[in-house]
Chains A and B, each alone.
Chain A
Amino acid sequence: SQKIEQNSEALNIQEGKTATLTCNYTNYSPAYLQWYRQDPGRGPVFLLLIRENEKEKRKERLKVTFDTTLKQSLFHITASQPADSATYLCALTAGGGADGLTFGKGTHLIIQP
């Protein structure tokens, strides 16, 4: 069956360090993968999209990698700040013609001052 797996345990990182979140998937062949941020009681907010032919994408302090062989994406936040504390969701297309994204359960990131 198709699965998107993100670390369900909260990730505690000290301020200033790099936070790395993992997204693994099975039985998908996504054309692209996206990362979203969700704060408590709010809707998800789009952060980055990376296509299958791209190995890495950067946006300010964010970096995403996409390894279609390993079926894995890594999401990095460098020089992390307490304001980066949130739940980060990985999402990809299920294929089959439906364009609705399928989301992982997310990883709760806590940046400690």
Chain B
Amino acid sequence: NAGVMQNPRHLVRRRGQEARLRCSPVKGHSHVYWYRQLPEEGLKFMVYLQKENIIDESGMPKERFSAEFPKEGPSILRIQQVVRGDSAAYFCASSRETSVIANTGELFFGEGSRLTVL
């Protein structure tokens, strides 16, 4: 079974351009999470989505960032008018269940998309 697929793996943008990062979850998973990781920093939660719904976007900047998980197709993290501070690795994760009652509650991560803003 294919794991979480993220693309592009590397993306270079100039300041002011848009970045679109795509994530296809594990087949059968309906929960998607986006995290950002800066060098020497931990993974920072950004947003949690289920199909066609944003469940929790408390970690996402209010401006320039948006995320979606449409009924069909991958989840998209969109960053408009990128700035140098947006340079980071963006990880997508998926899960089948989130309830602590479930047998497992782990997240399956992709290999990340590394954004560099020039």
**Which A residues are closer than 8 A to B by beta carbons?**
4, 31-32, 34, 36, 41-46, 49, 51, 89, 93-94, 97-106
Contact = CB atoms under 8 A, between A and B. Distances in A.
A34 B59 contact: no
A31 B45 contact: no
Q: How large is the interface on B (under 10, 10 to 19, 20 to 34, 35 or more residues)?
A: 20 to 34
The secondary-structure label for the interface of chain A is strand
A32 B105 contact: yes
Interface string B37-52: 0001111110110000
Contacts of A42: 111-112
B55 interface: yes
B109 interface: yes
Nearest to A97: B56
A43 B112 contact: yes
A42 B111 CA distance: 5
A100 B98 CA distance: 9
